[in-house]
Structure 1
Amino acid sequence: LNYQHWRERVHPDDIKMAELALQQAIDTRTTYEPTFRIVTSTNEIRYIQAGAQVSYDKVGHAVRVVGINRDVTEQRELEQTLRFAKRAADAASAAKSEFLANMSHEIRTPMNAVLGMLQLVQHSELTRQQHDYVSKAEMAAKSLLGLLNDILDFSKIDAGKLELDLHPFQLETLMRELAVMLATNVHNKNIEVIFDLDPAIPYLIEGDEQRLRQVLLNLAGNAIKFTSDGHVIVSVLCHEIKQNQVSLTVSISDTGIGISEEQSRKIFQGFMQAESSTSRRFGGTGLGLAITKRLVDLMGSELQLSSQVGQGSRFWFELTLNIIEMNNTLFTIDLQGKNILIVDDSKMSRRIISKTLTAHGAYVNEAGNSKQAINLIEQSINATHQYDVIIMDWRMPGMNGLDTTQHIQQMFEEDNAPAIIMLTAYGSEVLKQSKQYRQQPFVSMLSKPVTANLMLEAVQQAINGVHTPLGPHTIEHLALESVRVLVVEDNQLNRQVIDELLRLQGALVTLAKGGVEGVEWITQSDKSFDIVIMDMQMPDMDGLEATRLIRADGRFDDLPILAMTANASLADKALCLEAGMNEHIGKPIDMTLLLPCMLTLLGRDPITSEPIEQTLLLDSQTHKDDVLENPESILRRFGGERAFFIDVKHHFAIEMSEQLALLTHAFEQGDNNAMSITAHTIKGTASNIGAKRLAAFAEQLERSVKNADSVDASDYLSQMQGHINDSLHMLDTFFPDEAISTNEVDKSQYLPIESIEADKKVKLMTLLVEQNLEAIDYLESMLTNVAADKQWLRLSRQVSQLEFLDAIDTLTSIMKE
């Protein structure tokens, strides 16, 4: 073989590289070992790994190359495949990390805001039940944030760097918090979530409470998700106690769809689900069980599964934990000699509650429906061994728990009926239905699932005559409950006010920003409305034209339409009726007038919140030249909701700033139509909040523009600004904002507000838009040693209370000025 023969076989693209390597081997007297391609006689390309020595003659000239050529084509292809796989794995890992980082930012920020708002609500005046709801919501929010942290730690679990945080905790407390979280998962499903807790479980044990809560929430949440009918049982049994340690068997069983043997072998893998259809029917990432299994492994146990398709599943694991305190010496309940009746259509639920009560000495009877319960109660009356407490499930076939309760109370003389505890997973529906009764028909209500100790506490309180009220706001009559109302109003502040006021009366409110949108809601959407409240003057289509278009569609001949306008003259009313409206009411919005009018149009008995004489008296106390109406009259129109009115007051300040800017622009452009519209908007908004003098001045300007009277722009704008300032000052005087009144300072000792740089305002705006809680500390540092005016103090209050959307509006107004 000669050199030319070898050269003709080398791939054309590799000749230069191969010859250069050969020349280097000759010059340096080293081994010739490049990798290059050759082309065979059949035109097949192969990879060759050379390994050769160069031979030289006596004078040192290279004469031949002796060695081997090894075919490494398959090895080369395998290496290439591995390189591609590694790149793909690196890309997937980077994508996962980026996803987790983004999810962290997107979810943590609003969750922190939720927690902050819940903490603020707890510092306000609340009824006992409202405080209970808020505290439970806070527990659920904290748990959700904890779950987020756990998911984000998935990479730590993969790397084996996640460690348990061992500390003493009460299993009872953990289960009560779990009950709150699971109750939101059940929603309207026809399933029972039952807790079966061994009374022998030590009072205080040592473990990682957060990780155990996450494991239970994942497993029970999955059980609820994949169970459409039947029950889910969360069981913790005390297996063995010795040498200051307890062995617990924790299990979650359900009557759901089950898992096949084939799928059960891979269900604990990350991002895997038991069947492809679950991703469509039930959703989820399939990550929960993978995390759960690894957390159980960290706890020194093994998560196990037994299941059959269509017959439910059971997950269980065993834990060995240190005992900190065996018994709760502060709380013992003795039910010796007490007769208790359990009424529940779920046999499993009855069995577990009965086991708990019997273990504490009670004599227990069970009934599977209302008929059996009534028969047992009749027998007890005849046998003179009346029941001390009745535990009543609400949702049962036939007569439900509330109706059964009413029937039982009618069987006894006044105040002699047994104490009844309502047990339900549908708390809001029970409260709604209970409004028809003059008195609360049960002494307390427990939300399923319920722990054994919580049940025992409720039973003891019922026996001792402790009544848990639902609170005055829960059972009051809502005049517009379930009434579907469409509000057509172009002004954002007016929409907010009427929306809140109607919702306080139980109405289901839909908002339209103008006449065109209002007509579309009625004629083109699939929503039906009981009544429409229509503003008269709107920029895109006024209320008269919108009403004509609605009436032109024969389907809506009987739909009540109530006109609402700042122009309350007889001529305006005549125009409304001519266009097809049913009634006319003037602004400002007064619920004592609006509510009876709406009820009359709906064919219901009108009600008044206070006598007409009192209304006239309050209005008569306001003089013509007063800046504001009588403060009591203003607050009465807002349903007495002082906190709500103060919030509206802040929006009013922002709205007036924007409207004044629009009016200034209209004067500069000489646009009479824009002047008239803006003046009308100011008039309506000012009337609504009770700024009487400002509303009258805006009405005068509107009339002057319409009559083409000579208008001095600078004079009118100056007077308008003065009336706005006077109105805001008086509103702050009569309805002071705590943040403002408690932050008054000696401004002579501070820098002027103008000293705050523009770039700091821009950064603050960015933080607010991102809903970033760093805005609180950042604004506080901005206002250090600065004499803040009312707008900045209002901004500080909004930010500190996490009202970021309102804060954005306020900061926008400040930056415009």
Structure 2
Amino acid sequence: MRVRTLVIYITIGFVAAVLALVAVQYMTRRNLEELITANENLLDEYRMSSGLSHQADSTSRATLTRKMDVVDQSGQRVLRWNLYLTVGVLALLTAVFAIIIGRMKKQAELIGKLNVSERKLKEAVLVKENFLANMSHEIRTPLNAILGYTNLLQKKKLDPDTRLHISTVQQSGETLLAIVNDILDLSKIESGMMRIEQVPFGPEALVHSVATMFHHRSAEKQVPLVVTFDPAIPETITGDPTRLTQILVNLVSNAFKFTEKGEVNLRVNRNGGDGDRVQLTFEVTDTGIGIENERLETIFERFRQAEDSTTRHFGGTGLGLSIVRDLVHLQDGHISLSSEPGMGTSVKVTIPYRIAVVGDSLPTDARMDDVHPQRPGLRVLIVEDHIINQGLMMRLLEERRIVSRVAANGHEAIEILRHQPFDLVFMDIQMPGMDGYTATRIIREELKLAIPVIAMTAHAMEGEKEKCIRLGMDDHIAKPVRESELDRILTHFTKNIPANGSVANAFRVIDLDYMRGISNGDAVYEKLVTEQFLHLMPRELEALSAATGKRDPGEIRRIAHGIKTTISIMGLNTLLDEPLDVLESETIRPEDIAEPVERVLSICKEALGEAGIFYRQFQKE
């Protein structure tokens, strides 16, 4: 807008200057024409008077002189007016250019102020994002332990009083987590980073799963939740089931919060549609305290509740309905609310969806039963610096009969992975020394391992999962770790790894069939020979490396022959007979030694790791 004004000023100035110059030229030309005419007339009179000089007298000559004086004065006047007009035009041009320069200077100052303001705004946004990320991490880390251990305690046999205390701790932790999630969701919406997915899902199953979530709440308050589902609704639709679940959970939770007697109703109806589009209306009504009409307009405002005492009596942040409204609008929907004090409240949400076409596949249900799938034989590395979370993850994996090991930071994790194989890595992001991003990069680029690495972080900002995957990780699991999410990760990334109840059958390198055939099930013998392998193998590998460094063929042949005997109990002959035969050969050239030695060292180191895992099962018994 300011640039347009400046262009107008410049145009007006130039037009005025051109018009003034044209006017000066026109007036000067007219005056000069008049002077020329006057001079020609005087010249004619002069000629006539000269030709008739004998008839001239002093009177005629005086008249001629006066006329010439008038012509001279007119010429002088023309020159003065020409000078005046020229000076005026120059003054006008100077004024116009002064205005233009002033405007340009002011424009530059405003642009500078705008840049400073924009930089300060970006800095403020960055500070806010960093604050929210740090707050999320610092709060979610202890929450992970609180909720995780309370879940473990609730699975044990407890007396009623202790169970009540633990249930109270868990509910308080869930409430705190909900507040943190609300604040993070609000930040995502404000920054425009809240994403709406388009995936096929079954609306009826989703609604009933939401109702199941409130089964215990309904029983505790003795307020039934009545669900009504329109049979005309398509079986499968395309939209964002996560955000719809969030909307319904928020609305039903509010209904229960403010209802002490009566019932809560959740009605889902088809509200028209066109072609492959359908509109669904979700209405949640309660028989609670209600809201006064004059407060209905502010009920969707952030950090606002109907009464100042509501927070004290019922809790909450006043963000729930605001987030619901924003989520509905992001999905091109509409939300309305009606209420009457003492009679209850009704919230109606209408959202358009696309009817899923044939071939769209429904997402699998990630909800697991109370009895978690057992995955014996899996080897999982937990990279976590928080000692409480270390213990929690180990307990969760022990429940699933998974062998786990802990690394306190990225450096320790790298060293462990250099010498031992694992099926999966849970990688914390924020750790001292070496963070999860750097450790993952080394795993991919230096160790060349394709092992699944799962980011395990308390950072819950939008884009965190994408960042983790972009930097080499395979998936993301947020703290507090939900057992359903843990089971989903384990099922998805280890589905091709055998888990049939025997650790021995899940190894990649060692083959225990030979040992089992000899032992006839004698665990003492298996423990003894495994212990001997773990004791002898590192020494023989060290001796092989030393002999290779000295380029001593005789010593290399002797060690290779001894290794053949040591590895047989672990079933490694199939993998190592070929390189060991090469090393035992008397015709091998010195330049051909490095490759078979490297192969023997690599396979034996991996075998040591697997044998160590196998040996630890005897220590637990």
* Higher Rg: 2
Q: Report 1 or 2 for greater relative contact order, CA contacts < 8 Å, sequence distance ≥ 6.
A: 2
Q: Which has the higher strand share?
A: 1
Q: Which has the higher helix share?
A: 2
Query: What TM-score range do you get, normalising by the shorter chain?
Result: 0.3 to 0.5
- The TM-score with structure 2 as length reference comes to 0.35
